[in-house]
Structure 1
Amino acid sequence: MFGIHDLALFIISGLLLNITPGQDVAFIVSRGAAFGWRKGMVAALGVGTGCFVHVFAAALGLSAILATSATAFTVVKLAGAGYLIWIGLSVWRSGGENGEANPIQYHKVSLRRLFIQGFLTNALNPKVALFFMAFLPQFVSPDSPAKPLAFLTLGVIFTVNGTMVNFGYAWFAARAAALFNGGGRFTAWIKRAAGTLFIGLGIRLAMAERI
């Protein structure tokens, strides 16, 4: 269909890549541990929606711009890095005082805010766009007359499977937090660890070079 080949290998490879912890997983785990599995899954939906930005970009050929234009890559890269650092600082501030989580902040975080955070965490990462541009063509015949549809199909499969995996991460993180008294010191520790991680990821992204 649309010139797609080795679909089973694509699915298996995609699942292995999705299981591998990275920037998106770190965000989802931190949200699930801090706010429960429902809000963690909303964060995962935001990440998945952000992934569709890169899927459509790959299908339309826009990812090639990031690969060939140093200016475009740098602009997107710095925007993403700044956003990750901002999230890290925000998570640190929400950790409460004296090792205790802030219950007011805990309940005030809206589903909409978590969704948007997840969306931007993925959508502003140019490395994801370059990944799709490099990964998807390997499973599409060079002479396919419908490459954009093939890229869209593979991208949707990858993103849906990845979202299911991320749902699992959100649930697991929430359960682990509950076992260790998620509303107290454990949650505060998770927030600060996650905040530090996101600041580090932001700095790493800011220093990233094009593939």
Structure 2
Amino acid sequence: MIPLKEISYFSLAALILVISPGPNMIYLISRSITQGQRSGLISLMGIISGFLFHIVMVSAGLTAVLFAVPYVYATIKTLGVVYLLYLAYQAIKPNGRSPFEVRKDLSNDKPAKLFKIGVLTTVLNPKVAVFYLSFFPYFIKPEYGSVFMQSLQLGITQVCISFSVNLIIVLSAARAALFFAGNPLWMRAQKWVMASILASLAVKMALTKEK
């Protein structure tokens, strides 16, 4: 199993990435504001189910790839660096949309549809797969045991962090939207802080020696 110190570093990376704006966050905020917290919670359950799908698929894939393809770690690490720099740019790009500038024209969907859309939002989101493929090899080492079990350990950790953060988002979406609408300077500061953290993670990953 992966040592607690390494899990702590991974947890920090997962936390930073989950609070960076993306399709999941925008969908949850929009549903929570337009259709209420209950709908937001149902949507969150769908999103978490989508994460579990990715975890199983990526864990099985990494087990095969890491042992079958030489130098694959360097390729995946490069993908991770590019991904982080892309997220940093998205955070500060001109005319970038805030996740709290939500759509007001969403229809009132039933629980089953909310759950299904939540699942599809995650399953069809390439950013999720890229995150797992780029970050998991960074923390997985053969001396820690089964690659598959290490992948599951990282995946469960990421899901717990994602669920906790998104639960807070669902419960506070309306108040947060009002706050940022009245304080645009806070929103701009948040974007630059987020971009700086993501860029720092990219540099750290790029300088890490290959296994």
TM-score (norm 2): 0.59
Q: Distance in 1 between matches of 2:5 and 2:59?
A: 17
Q: Which residue of 1 aligns with 2:147?
A: 147
Pair 1:16–1:127, CA change in 2 (3 A): closer
Q: Which residue of 2 aligns with 1:84?
A: none
Q: Distance in 1 between matches of 2:176 and 2:157?
A: 29
Does the CA contact (< 8 Å) of 1:122 and 1:128 recur in 2?
A: yes
Does the CA contact (< 8 Å) of 2:136 and 2:154 recur in 1?
A: yes
Question: What is the Cα deviation at residue 124 of structure 1?
Answer: 1.1
Question: What is the Cα deviation at residue 12 of structure 1?
Answer: 1.4
Q: Distance in 2 between matches of 1:153 and 1:59?
A: 10
1:4-23 superposed matches below 5 A: 6-23=6-23
Pair 1:42–1:175, CA change in 2 (3 A): farther
1:16-165 superposed matches below 5 A: 16-61=16-61, 95=105, 106=108, 109-165=109-165
Question: What is the Cα deviation at residue 113 of structure 1?
Answer: 1.0
Question: What is the Cα deviation at residue 139 of structure 1?
Answer: 1.4
Q: Distance in 2 between matches of 1:56 and 1:124?
A: 15
How many aligned residue pairs are there? Answer: 144
Does the CA contact (< 8 Å) of 1:43 and 1:114 recur in 2?
A: yes
Any idea what the Cα deviations from partners look like across 1:107-158, whole Å, max 9, x if unmatched?
xx21111111010011012332122011012112134430101101110110
| Ranges in structure 1 where 5+ consecutive residues have no aligned partner | 69-90, 96-100, 181-211
Q: Distance in 2 between matches of 1:12 and 1:160?
A: 12
Q: Distance in 2 between matches of 1:151 and 1:2?
A: 9
Q: Distance in 1 between matches of 2:12 and 2:2?
A: 20
Pair 1:3–1:61, CA change in 2 (3 A): farther
TM-score (norm 1): 0.59
SS where residue 141 of structure 2 aligns?
Answer: coil
Q: Which moved more, 1:142-151 or 1:111-120?
A: 142-151
Question: What is the Cα deviation at residue 3 of structure 1?
Answer: 6.7
Q: Distance in 2 between matches of 1:19 and 1:125?
A: 16
Does the CA contact (< 8 Å) of 1:2 and 1:147 recur in 2?
A: no
Identical-residue share of aligned pairs (%): 33
Does the CA contact (< 8 Å) of 2:54 and 2:128 recur in 1?
A: yes
Cα RMSD of the aligned pairs, angstroms, is: 3.0
SS where residue 142 of structure 2 aligns?
Answer: coil
Q: Distance in 1 between matches of 2:137 and 2:119?
A: 24
Does the CA contact (< 8 Å) of 1:41 and 1:166 recur in 2?
A: no
